[in-house]
Structure 1
């Protein structure tokens, strides 16, 4: 049996069979998000491990938009790693990494509106994949619109996370709440727990990034 097969069981707890794929995806994801909330550079390489494992997991439970999202995350984790480590002159913090900033209320509102439009479009596409490409997607997409919301909003907010915009955590909180419920329904309980933890960590991340931003003002005084 393959490590990347969701039916390869690592252990069983209280009647729930835990695969290697789900367990190590949980661990790497939790570490990566916690480090992101702390604005730590190592969140990006550990995130790369998580997205590789998640790609195989989502394919096997027919969450196809989430599966495609991991390809995007792989690329953006590489970009984010480089961007945080190589700030432009005037963008660096005391660790010589990219500093936290804000995008502004109008930009944030426009992003949310665009995300809802993108969700509708991708959800419609995802619902037809099993008709268009039956050899690759023999089973219909599960919850295409909820899954697409997670995908679209994650893509959007990841770009702002690369730029260290504090508002990205507000979107992550909403995405994580939706994902917690969706993964619970799909029966991947540890990932549901993981995204519930992500909701808490994202709330901490928002607080921590705002606090770090304010510290820059103190340093100038």
Structure 2
């Protein structure tokens, strides 16, 4: 039994390390700590490899996007705050922005589905496209500190956990179940911060 576990650990060490760093990333994200971004960058770099091996090509491309958006988020969280602020303030998403984000999400989904269906051997093109399109939007919202990004993540993470069960990525399944719970906690934590900011202004 010990040999089987050891063999599994050695065979999946990149996924396991990515999962551990992913938990650290979400913790920092909830706390609005600047280390959110370098930790997220490392997590994403590892998951490029994991998802390539699993033939989840849209998710692999998403991780490459995360590397880029991590650099942007890092910069924005450092430089985007106003003079009298210690950090960039949490804000709500206005209706017009929701409409724009919905259009972007649908367009991304359609583009990804076309690519995956016609140019890859993906066996889950619809599910992979949905999670990837919404994740691109949600991560941009995180970088800009829109609180509702947590609501998107609750759906994305729960949906993704089911997808990874199908693909047999068990360390990642556990990670995304935890992500789902932490996304709910993140929403509640950011909501407190938002109320505190609104009370001062």
Q: Same fold (TM over 0.5)?
A: yes
> 1:125 is matched with which residue: 88, 111, 115?
115
Unaligned runs of 5+ in 1: 1-10, 131-139
Q: Which has the higher helix share?
A: 2
Distance in 2 of aligned mates of 1:157 and 1:53: 20
Q: Name the SS of the counterpart of 2:8 in structure 1.
A: strand
| Distance change (3 Å), C-alpha of 1:154 and 1:16 | farther
Q: Which has the higher strand share?
A: 1
Aligned to 1:57: 50
Contact 2:81/2:89, CA 8 A, preserved across alignment: no
Aligned to 1:25: 18
Aligned to 1:73: 66
Contact 2:81/2:87, CA 8 A, preserved across alignment: no
Q: CA deviation at 1:41?
A: 1.2
Q: CA deviation at 1:106?
A: 4.2
Q: CA deviation at 1:118?
A: 2.5
Which runs of at least 4 in structure 1 moved beyond 6 Å after TM superposition?
A: none
Paired residues in the alignment total 197
Aligned to 1:197: 178
Aligned to 1:136: none
Distance in 1 of aligned mates of 2:118 and 2:7: 32
Q: CA deviation at 1:165?
A: 0.5
Aligned to 1:181: 162
Q: Name the SS of the counterpart of 1:128 in structure 2.
A: helix
Distance in 1 of aligned mates of 2:103 and 2:162: 22
Q: CA deviation at 1:156?
A: 1.1
> 1:107 is matched with which residue: 90, 94, 97?
97
Aligned to 1:116: 106
Aligned to 1:212: 193
Q: CA deviation at 1:107?
A: 2.5
Unaligned runs of 5+ in 2: none
Distance in 2 of aligned mates of 1:113 and 1:204: 28
Q: CA deviation at 1:99?
A: 1.0
